[in-house]
Structure 1
Amino acid sequence: MTNYATYFQENREHHLNELNEWLSIPSISAISEHKPDMQRAAEWLAATLKKAGLEHVEIHPTAGHPIVTADYLHAPGKPTVLVYGHYDVQPVDPLHLWETPPFEPTIRGDKLFARGATDDKGQIFLHIKAVEAILKQEGTLPVNVKFCIEGEEEISSANLPGFLESNKEMLSADAVLISDTSLIEKGKPAICTGLRGLCSLEFTIHTANTDLHSGSFGGGVPNALHSIVELLNSLHDKQGRVLVDGFYEGVLPLSDEMRNEFIKQAFDEKKLQQSLALESLHGEEGYSFVERVGARPTLEINGLYGGFQGEGSKTVIPKEASAKITCRLVANQDPAYVLDQIIKHLEANVPTGATIDIKPGEKARAFNIDPSSELLQKAADAFKTVYGTRALFTKDGGSIPIVEAFSRLIAPTVVLMGFGLPDENLHAPNEHFNLENFDKGLLTIVEYLNQI
């Protein structure tokens, strides 16, 4: 077989220069003034896909930012893989914390610094160059490949689900291949088999029709802050378990096989505790840290505010207080049902003398896949060939709602082969991509496509 290591080494400088062109485009989907940059980034992507040898390259307008598709379908009887990624990036604030400008890609040591370097332009670029390399060296691909790359992942992919629904036949595949996750640590690859879903809400507790003097009214009228603290305290027991009726409906027990995968991660809880300057970790009793954040549901208070918050003292009894809540969900939990149960719990436990207004928020289902799938096992083998270490199967605590949509609408098998590292500052100043994983990622993708 072709020596791809030599090919990629000989073309490394050229490939990095190409990636730098894309990274230089400030494709920030959340900021309207960057709409022309979003179009420019989509056009750059389409041109690069064509140059790589992909066919039927098309830029699809949406109500928001464009979706780019392409394919190469010349392997009859072989599997079809749909590669998904996104070309939009996060805003760059606070700008003064960047050591070099976020849209002027810079290599320092063995790291490429730029907004989008690891999330997700750098990682999706690997797939384009891997396909291009195989086409240049072999003249064809060992499998059928499709690309679907959007520009709204950082703003919740509002237009992609409808696009998937309307284009099921064009996008149909045996597996969806995504690189938007990370290794466990340097040299220790991982394949994510679960992403948590979510639901959220915010609510306000009301008492009197005005703030009141605590000397004249204290002890005689309800205090909105006291009421909200009492209500929030009713949501968990002292062992970290959520007390909302029905909250755990649909949560599956962790299998021995999955718990063994967690154990293999050899996660150092003490080191984490020290790095965060915590007296101790906290969470649902009976589970390790990686199990709690990857495979168990949570209910978190994300914001709490009310009363006087300025400098000094102001002796008032506040008339209202507000809180924001987000839940991370797992397995077969229904986000709409969970949200409804939380609302019922809050309304049933409002303290005497208070009323409540509740505003439901977002809802997204969890993604879960059995790691015994042959396409996932071959992905772990491909990592082993290149990294010398077989990938572990993990469950990530975060949420990528569109992954569940792909598994439901396009292909039940979603292969999450990430090449980032957890400390690469995605969404933060000085985002970067370790070039070791740039090099090994190219080889791993080529190996995987050939193995399947």
Structure 2
Amino acid sequence: MNRNAIIAAASAYARDGALAGDLKRLVAHRSISQSEGTPEALMNYLADEMVPMLAGLGYESGIFANPRENGAPLLIASRIEGDDLPTVLTYGHGDVCNGEASRWRKGLEPFSLIIEGDKLFGRGTADNKIQHLINIKALEHVIKGRGSLGFNSKIVIEMAEETGSYGLREFFAQQKEALAADVLIASDGPRLTVDTPTMFMGSRGGLPFDLVVNLRDGDHHSGNFGGLLADPVIILSHAIASIVDARGQIQVPEWRPTSLTDDIRLALKDLPPRRHDLDWGETDLTPSERVFGWNSLAVLAISSGNIAAPQNAIAGSARARCQLRFVVGTDIDDILPALRRHLDAHGFSMVEVREAKEEPFKATRFPPDHPWVRFVERSIAASSGKSPHVLPNLAGSLPNDAFTDILGVPTIWIPHSHAECGQHGPNEHALLSIAEEGMRVMTALFLDIADNGGKPDAIA
């Protein structure tokens, strides 16, 4: 088959329903790595779906135990066509967040694929099952259309990304030779806008932690003890208010990055802003600078008493799960020590700072002028007819540091989702229109890599 016929077939795979059929099977796996999940479901996704899918394309696959105790399994698949050919590594995660079925709207279920117009609903549709499915199927169309890829391909699938990629870094250190490659080209996260492809070369870091105020055992009558016993909820609220002001601006000096340099500002200058509140975030930053070039604190959950049935009592304790999203230039090892110093300086020594059990993600960026970045940018522009949005880093977090710091490869991410996809919440969905364009873009990119001998020089 010629190039145009291969790309047309890839487009038809998405447009004519075959992609939805494959995705339906993947979504049906309750491959949850959080509290609702089971180890068996994580293994089944790899053994029952990924291994046979890749075996049909000539890949040799192995499923490996996580190097950390109670960690989820991982898969490495390889198709080696020649020792003198370049090697492209790609990545996906088959694990998903808790289904939280009760929060989905009527007519939707987290582990059943429901199609409504352009929307494909189901847990994992956007994050990340459709994304690695698109990339694997793009490789398939090249193999079936030409009889070979024209380069070596390695694929790693993990099952613990939603819990901080638990054990992934140790696994990469053990399997460094098996994962050796010239470049990582993978997909996760959202596009900046629905109608234009996006690429990014890193991600903000993510560090979860708990703030705990534990004053006494048990609750005490709010009438008999009101005004006598300190209220842990009020103390915790004021502690949080010392960390960020009323519009969410960071007040911990060490958490305010110095890496929003002129070149990063220039890269973010002409990006269309995501939906945002006008009175939220740093006052002297643009919306794009706030989300891609700055740090932000989120209070993910707060707990004290029983909000469904409140009692007339002063609680004995209060706890908040918080998360700092941070950019390159923030010292990950000093984030919690800096917070401890800040709370002590503001009179909150009674507020305990606890590390969360989930793994943190480091912040990473890769140079946007790297030859591989420019190669991929030109390929996407040619196949889509649009200049892609090029971001220095994703606003969310990924285990990108495992690729850059351990494997030492350039990292390029091409997301096949969109910002309003509902990932990590109810009604998660992908868009078929993005999936169809993703099939065309990725198939064309793999063809370009083969046609250029895997060298990031100009595309003819």
Contact 1:199 1:339 in 2 (8 A): no
Q: Tell me which moved more, 280-289 or 58-67.
A: 58-67
CA distance in 1, matches of 2:306, 2:72: 42
Give the 3-state SS of the residue equivalent to 1:37 in structure 2: helix
1:308-354 Cα distance to aligned partner (Å, 9 max, x none): 9676884x666554444321111032222111111122133325xx7
In structure 2, which of residues 278, 302, 326 is the aligned counterpart of residue 329 of structure 1? Answer: 326
Q: Which runs of 5+ in 1 are unaligned?
A: 274-279
**1:7 aligned partner:** 9
CA distance in 1, matches of 2:190, 2:136: 19
CA distance in 2, matches of 1:104, 1:312: 36
In structure 1, which of residues 270, 290, 293 is the aligned counterpart of residue 291 of structure 2? Answer: 293
Give the 3-state SS of the residue equivalent to 1:346 in structure 2: helix
Contact 1:223 1:319 in 2 (8 A): yes
Q: Tell me which moved more, 60-69 or 184-193.
A: 60-69
CA distance in 1, matches of 2:422, 2:371: 33
Alignment of 1:297-376 (within 5 A): 297-304=295-302, 306=304, 314=312, 320-350=317-347, 355-361=350-356, 363-376=360-373
Contact 2:57 2:140 in 1 (8 A): yes
Q: Taking every aligned residue pair, what percent have the same amino acid on both sides? A: 24
Contact 2:207 2:325 in 1 (8 A): yes
Shift of 1:124: 0.6
Aligned CA distance change for structure 1 residues 181 and 74 (closer, same or farther; 3 Å): same
CA distance in 2, matches of 1:28, 1:225: 32
Contact 2:232 2:315 in 1 (8 A): yes
Shift of 1:157: 1.9
Q: Tell me which moved more, 323-332 or 122-131.
A: 323-332
Aligned CA distance change for structure 1 residues 129 and 335 (closer, same or farther; 3 Å): same
In structure 2, which of residues 27, 34, 38 is the aligned counterpart of residue 30 of structure 1? Answer: 34
Who wins on radius of gyration, i.e. which is larger?
1
CA distance in 2, matches of 1:240, 1:194: 24
Aligned CA distance change for structure 1 residues 346 and 112 (closer, same or farther; 3 Å): same
Residue 263 (1) aligns with residue 269 (2): yes
Shift of 1:217: 6.7
In structure 1, which of residues 395, 398, 404 is the aligned counterpart of residue 396 of structure 2? Answer: 398
- CA RMSD in angstroms comes to 3.0
Aligned CA distance change for structure 1 residues 100 and 308 (closer, same or farther; 3 Å): closer
CA distance in 1, matches of 2:121, 2:308: 39
CA distance in 1, matches of 2:295, 2:235: 26
Contact 2:86 2:151 in 1 (8 A): yes
Letter in 1 for 2:56: K
In structure 1, which of residues 76, 89, 92 is the aligned counterpart of residue 96 of structure 2? Answer: 89
Shift of 1:261: 3.5
Give the 3-state SS of the residue equivalent to 1:141 in structure 2: coil
Residue 421 (1) aligns with residue 418 (2): yes
Give the 3-state SS of the residue equivalent to 1:180 in structure 2: coil
Shift of 1:186: 2.1
CA distance in 1, matches of 2:258, 2:441: 34
In structure 1, which of residues 49, 53, 58 is the aligned counterpart of residue 54 of structure 2? Answer: 49
The number of aligned residues is 437
CA distance in 1, matches of 2:233, 2:366: 43
Give the 3-state SS of the residue equivalent to 2:62 in structure 1: strand
In structure 2, which of residues 252, 258, 263 is the aligned counterpart of residue 251 of structure 1? Answer: 258
Q: Tell me which moved more, 153-162 or 45-54.
A: 153-162
Shift of 1:304: 4.6
**2:44 aligned partner:** 40
